[in-house]
Structure 1
């Protein structure tokens, strides 16, 4: 008897996510502007002309004129990508709300031709850590428990490891931190709503939250994360991932013990032989 494959956990409510995104406002898209700057910067350092690009993004507008002839793909669970159809795939500002991030990366690898490039920009683990802490402390005090309010996001080391799990070669991960000042917690949450980035976790509360919880959360926020001018500091962290679809022409690591030059010779120092007991 053949077993059915296990479905990945539905961490995010995709229907709610689409509704949140539909209410976005152009003036709150600064994270996408930053992501585009990072993509352009990384492409400028690659000495190659890409002729078959694909861009996976929640919103098409910021990316339509990035690369001529690029295919713009919405970040559904199953991506609209043909196998080995692209020499460049850009996955931007969507991996942090994917139910199966490894699956997304595997689909990207399959869509790449041999030695094709993947560029990813996503929100990292320190994003909104101040808001997460303030809401958690306030809710614990008001109701004696916790509910999912700020989605967990991957740390840079974990996100880099996802590239390897998905089969990419030469993986690189780095991050770009940003601190934004807000008048109060309400101002921050209005901005998140305008970005389409409010809570869409499947386990979120479906009943209205008492106003007293947000008043207390703002007080905790101000006590712990206020700037000199009293405004609330909010961290956003962009993690940038780079990987290549495997190819025989790529640099390969040497096998252990295959080096033909001794380290002592390279450093021009005498080799010191250790006694057997110290080896």
Structure 2
């Protein structure tokens, strides 16, 4: 008998890990910059710098060490992170690995847990938030950043049009992303209070659609779905993808554009000191007391 509420596996995380290991940008310090990591880390610095809280025990989870942020501060001072990988890695150093599907962290009293660049390739997003909440002390903060919104919408459309034109059918080529409207609900389902969701919108431009696809492959985001087509992409199909992409999403200077939306989710573990909404009927003043009695006016 099948288990109830069994989470369907969508992502091939073993394949993603292998791709990251092969990617040249992750193998040498002199290789090209990981610009997505730079965007996330700089944004994380800005967000945490405004929080008036001294974080004593903090953990940063990421699929690769490129996302291990350094020199992070809150408004009350430096934050010294412990780091952990969410994908197996041959990266140098004694960095622990924790599977986000079955978190087994060494402490249950963190006051800050940060997850970067991983939520968009998790099978059980609500389950991750439930687990993270258990490892945070009361009034602890969880911060998550991932690709979301309309990220790679141009590439998705180009593949769809090319597949239909080439073979008459559509296939899963680009992973689905979390919508900002679902972010708050995911945090609340995980037991977090005071949820905050935000979307940072970027448009990245490339000299050629193939350059975009190559960068996605190096990032590990090149079709990470389990139910992806198993046959190799033919030259004819790839030519169709490039043709549709260049025709629909090329600017006047000849460079093609790609949407990149960074989804940010922040929530606090419940604590009695936090603000709470008033119970219905508990107000001490009526709206008439505030605005005045207008019943006698014409």
Length-normalised TM-score, structure 2: 0.85
Secondary structure of the equivalent of 1:205?
Answer: coil
Supply the distance in 1 between the matched residues of 2:130 and 2:103 (Cα, whole angstroms).
10
Aligned to 2:40: 35
Partner of 2:208: 184
1:10-25 equivalent positions in 2, closer than 5 A: 10-24=9-23, 25=25
CA distance in 2, matches of 1:14, 1:206: 16
Structure 1 residue runs without a partner (length 5+): 275-279
Alignment match, 1:89: 113
Contact 1:28 1:195 survives alignment (8 Å): no
Q: Identify which of 71, 84, 93 aligns with 1:73.
A: 84
Q: Structure 1 81/136 Cα, relative in aligned 2: closer, same or farther at 3 Å? A: same
- 1:108 and 2:113 matched: no
Q: Deviations over 1:62-111 (max 9, x none)?
A: 31634554221222222232462200000111000001111111111111
* Runs of 4+ residues deviating >6 angstroms: none
State which of 242, 267, 272 in structure 1 corresponds to 2:294: 272
- 2:141 aligned to 117, 127, 130, which one? 117
The reply to whether residue 152 of structure 1 matches residue 152 of structure 2 is: no
In 2, the alpha carbon distance for the partners of 1:7 and 1:64 equals 34
Q: Which one of 57, 61, 74 corresponds to residue 56 of structure 1?
A: 61
- Listed as ranges, the matches of 1:133-144 within 5 Å are 133-144=157-168
Give the match's secondary structure for 1:197: coil
Is 61-70 or 226-235 further displaced after alignment?
A: 61-70
- The number of aligned residues is 271
Assess, with a 3 A threshold, how the Cα gap between structure 1 residues 229 and 112 changes in structure 2: closer, same or farther.
Answer: same
Partner of 2:151: 127
Change (3 A) 1:71 1:29: same
Q: Does the 8 Å contact 1:117/1:244 carry over to 2?
A: yes
Q: Deviations over 1:11-41 (max 9, x none)?
A: 0012111111212315241111111111111
* TM-score of the aligned structures, taking structure 1 as reference length: 0.91
- Please state whether the residue corresponding to 1:102 is helix, strand or coil: helix
Distance 1:43 1:199, change over 3 A: same
Is 2:37–2:66's contact at 8 Å kept on the other side of the alignment? no
**Taking CA–CA contacts closer than 8 Å with sequence separation of 6 or more, which of the two structures ends up with the larger relative contact order?**
1
Question: Which of the residues 190, 193, 216 maps onto 1:169?
Answer: 193
Paired with 2:103 and 2:35, the residues of 1 have a C-alpha distance of 25
Q: How does 1:243-262 map to 2 (within 5 A)?
A: 243-262=267-286
Q: Give yes or no for the alignment of 1:47 onto 2:46.
A: no
- The farther-off stretch of 200-209 and 67-76 is 67-76
- Aligned equivalents of 2:190, 2:37: Cα separation in 1: 25
Cα pair 1:64 1:72 within 8 Å, conserved = no
Q: Using a 3 Å threshold, how does the CA distance of structure 1 residues 4 and 194 change in structure 2: closer, same or farther?
A: closer
